[in-house]
Amino acid sequence: MRNVMIRDVIIGQGAPKIIVSLISSTRHNLVEEIEHMAPKQPDIWEWRLDFQESFEGNELTETLALIRELTYPTPLLVTYRTNQEGGHGCMKGAAYSELLTMTAASGFCDLVDVELFSEDSKELVHAIQQHNCKVIVSNHDFDRTPPKEELIWRLREMQLINGDIGKIAVMPKRPQDVLSLLDAAEHMKEHYADRPFIVMSMGNLGAITRLGGHHFGSAATFAAGASPSAPGQLPIELMKQLLK
């Protein structure tokens, strides 16, 4: 399996990398959020673009430049999570692709999230990578945990469209769902993975996957910043202590 190096962070090697999301809706609050979280030193920052009140005109580039300045040199991931996958974003099709491509072209971020089931996802991954930006291909299911075979298929599909990192997050309804996700991750690691991937089971029931997923192949995990961006996220201080 090849690793993914972003600045001085190597994803796929050593301890799982801890990602913290910025979810404030205004530029002023984003600055406060970063200043509060910076001393905790996440391995990767994520800006959840779909939480923004607006990004008309030059607002997107200006805010992204500010975030880059305040978080530098830590790698920065930008995500626009659509409402189909549990986020607040309503863009799709060409508008979604143009937004993500413009984000990558700005030069102010290191990774961009592309949803696996977005339109023309393979072409979008390629377009973003042309701007010297890595891609996390993701899939989220806030309603259920698909069967093991389906989870493996999705992780393999993320590789087939040439994402640099794959990511799956699912909601468990029973303990067996958590075991199915970890079993799928282990099978992926042993038989198919040629690049890093991330898996997590959400909510309180799935919290164990955020702490122990790396034993089954998961290369990174998400921790709560000022407030959680997804159900079941644990505080970064606790994550750092337990993942030493």
Q: Is 25 annotated as a binding residue?
A: no
Which structure tokens are listed for 244? 């030493």
Q: Is 138 annotated as a binding residue?
A: no
88 is catalytic: no
Tell me how far CA of residue 63 lies from CA of 32, 42, 56, 78, in angstroms.
Answer: 13, 20, 11, 12
Q: Is 229 annotated as a binding residue?
A: yes
Question: How far apart, in whole angstroms, are the C-alpha atoms of residue 190 and residue 180?
Answer: 15
Q: Is 68 annotated as a binding residue?
A: no
Question: How far apart, in whole angstroms, are the C-alpha atoms of residue 190 and residue 202?
Answer: 24
28 is catalytic: no
Q: Is 201 annotated as a binding residue?
A: no
| Residues with Cβ within 8 Å of residue 125, at least 6 apart in sequence | 114, 135, 137, 161, 162, 163
Q: Is 54 annotated as a binding residue?
A: no
Pick the catalytic residue: 134, 148, 167, 214?
167
Question: How far apart, in whole angstroms, are the C-alpha atoms of residue 2 and residue 237?
Answer: 29
Tell me how far CA of residue 165 lies from CA of 59, 95, 198, in angstroms.
Answer: 28, 23, 7
* Beta-bridge partners for 137: 114, 166
Q: Is 45 annotated as a binding residue?
A: no
Q: Is 156 annotated as a binding residue?
A: no
Which structure tokens are listed for 217? 């192949």
Query: Which residues are known to be catalytic?
Result: 140, 167
Which residues are known binding-site members?
21, 46-48, 81, 210, 229, 233
Which residues are known binding-site members for 3-dehydroquinate?
21, 46-48, 81, 210, 229, 233
